[in-house]
Amino acid sequence: MADWHTTVTPPALARLLTTARLPEPPTARRPAYRTLAGQIRLLVTEGRLPVGARLPAERELATALELSRTTVATAYETLRGDGYLRSRRGAGSWTALPEGAPPPGDALHPVPPDEQGRTLDLGVAALPAPQPWVGAAAARAVEQLPYYAAGHGHYPTGVPVLREAVARRYTERGLPTTPDQILITTGAMGALHLVQRVLVGRGDRVAVEAPSYAHTLQALRLSGARLVPVPYAHHPTARWDQDEWQRVLRGAAPRLAYLIPDFHNPTGALIGEDQRRELLAAARAAGSIVLVDETTAELGWGVPETAPLPRPMAALDRAAQVVTVGSAGKLFWGGLRIGWVRAAPALVRRLAGERVYSDVGTPVLDQLITAELLGEPLAAVRAHQLDKLRATAHAFAATLPEHMPGWTFPMPTGGLALWVSTDGLSGAALARTGERDGVRIASGNRFGSDGAFEHHIRIPLTVPAATVPAAVERLAAVAARTATGGRLDTPDEAQPLAV
């Protein structure tokens, strides 16, 4: 097979292994090779070490980690046996996934069932498509297809009816917007990928909230950006730590600040207008672009109908420094893959010019469906989705403290998840144990920029409320196994290297 591997240097791998902050040392001693193999496997399955990455030669890694060469060689042999490493004489060794394994770091694939055939996916924070609205909108979109079918179907900036519908919705939310400020993308991730590709260079600093959305953090890492985490101030309610933001913006002058001010993922925090204004002023002084992720902005399920929401960041922007990303994936359906960028028309044109070389445009039919849904059905669909999220949030709030008295979480007023502190239990270890018990769990360290938040998990509000009691019981069982006997029948991947 031809050679297509990127290379991980010994210091880089050593850094990954040490900064990953894997769980606390166990009491029993286990062979160092099993610990090393388990940690590398964890880095691969969590997507923090890409599949196909060439690992250092055994001798080099042994030197970097101050381990014996035999330990490294045996760890590599173990990984090969489990399908997580491939080697070829003269060509080195590179990370892999066993046949049939899902892509790494995904939370996007079916959970392997437990012995009783049960599965519970707490990895994905996404709702099913609200029916009958999506089906009806799809049928109406198909009726419009003949008009579009007469052309070549390429719309780098988006189909006009959807650009207009998105602009109208911003205007309704208090942010006057024209269609030429909107670029339709293939999902919000498509928008983030494009903005990052155009605006962020390798080695550029990007300031991020800590915690923040796991997939964006990983996308930024893969692009070579240097993440500068700015922790949340959690008391009395979650808010930005303005002193820390001031310090980072002034000191690091990041190219870009990535923010989720509206029902933040994973915490659900909603940032007030005063904080928004202060941060914009600081970013302006630093010359930083402010990238606002509004994927969850329409999901205020705990906000009274009559209470005014803080205005969108872009509505407070006096320096054309805000670029906003939005999505139909959470309010409507992820299977539509419709997202967008709201920016100055000149930047929209520039992004469109670039995306011609990535996906050319977003499929027409899904744009027509989304335009339909943003019209007359919007109020009913939104009420339906918010009812579901609210019911699930209340069900977790009623059930979780009973089964897991030490676990705590701030109760948000919107968004897709609860950010749960696990009373010192490792989220990564919970995830590993869960994977064998048919329960997928999103470990907290995936939402940190350098393996922080080890003792957190994110619980999605997108499971049906009626299933919450059973879900909490299974989660409690996983927690019990993790805390005590869970390690007995699993390898030692959840243990730290002694480096």
Mapped onto helix, strand or coil, the DSSP state of residue 66 is: coil
Least gap, CB of 449 to its own copies (angstroms): 15
Non-local CB neighbours of 35 within 8 Å, separated by 6+ positions: 492, 493, 495, 496, 497, 498
Non-local CB neighbours of 82 within 8 Å, separated by 6+ positions: 37, 41, 98
- The tokens describing 95, both together, are 């990370």
Least gap, CB of 54 to its own copies (angstroms): 12
Exposure letters 328-353 (e unless 16+ CB within 10 A, then b): bbbbbbbebbbbbbbbeeebbeebbe
Residue 282: CB atoms within 10 A of its CB come to 19
Least gap, CB of 199 to its own copies (angstroms): 4
* DSSP conformational letter for 203: T
Of 291 and 457, which has the nearer Cβ to its own copies?
291
Determine the Cα–Cα distance for residues 28 and 47; give it in Å rounded to an integer: 28
Of 321 and 399, which has the nearer Cβ to its own copies?
321
Of 239 and 350, which has the nearer Cβ to its own copies?
350
Q: What angle do CA 136, 139, 143 make, to 5 degrees?
A: 140
Determine the Cα–Cα distance for residues 88 and 488; give it in Å rounded to an integer: 33
Least gap, CB of 350 to its own copies (angstroms): 5
Helical spans, DSSP H, in 230-305:
242-252, 273-286
Least gap, CB of 121 to its own copies (angstroms): 9
- Contact present, 204 and 289 (Cβ < 8 Å): no
Q: In what order do the strands lie in the sheet with 53-55?
A: 6-7, 53-55, 92-95, 85-88
- The tokens describing 84, both together, are 């997580």
Least gap, CB of 480 to its own copies (angstroms): 28
Of 139 and 383, which has the nearer Cβ to its own copies?
139
Least gap, CB of 100 to its own copies (angstroms): 9
Of 51 and 73, which has the nearer Cβ to its own copies?
51
Find the helix or strand (DSSP H, E) in which 259 lies. strand 256-259
- Contact present, 392 and 382 (Cβ < 8 Å): no
Least gap, CB of 51 to its own copies (angstroms): 5
Residue with the two structure tokens 């990238």: 291
Least gap, CB of 347 to its own copies (angstroms): 8
Least gap, CB of 425 to its own copies (angstroms): 27
Residue with the two structure tokens 């990052």: 196
Of 72 and 227, which has the nearer Cβ to its own copies?
227
Determine the Cα–Cα distance for residues 458 and 421; give it in Å rounded to an integer: 9
Q: In what order do the strands lie in the sheet with 439-443?
A: 120-122, 439-443, 456-460, 417-421
- Contact present, 259 and 290 (Cβ < 8 Å): yes
Of 335 and 485, which has the nearer Cβ to its own copies?
335
Find the helix or strand (DSSP H, E) in which 12 lies. helix 10-19
Of 31 and 335, which has the nearer Cβ to its own copies?
335
Of 218 and 275, which has the nearer Cβ to its own copies?
218
Of 16 and 477, which has the nearer Cβ to its own copies?
16
- The tokens describing 171, both together, are 């205007």
Of 74 and 296, which has the nearer Cβ to its own copies?
296
End-to-end CA distance of the chain: give it in Å, rounded: 35
- Contact present, 322 and 413 (Cβ < 8 Å): no
Least gap, CB of 487 to its own copies (angstroms): 27
Task: Specify which residues 291 forms β-bridges with.
Answer: 258, 323
Least gap, CB of 439 to its own copies (angstroms): 17
Of 129 and 303, which has the nearer Cβ to its own copies?
129
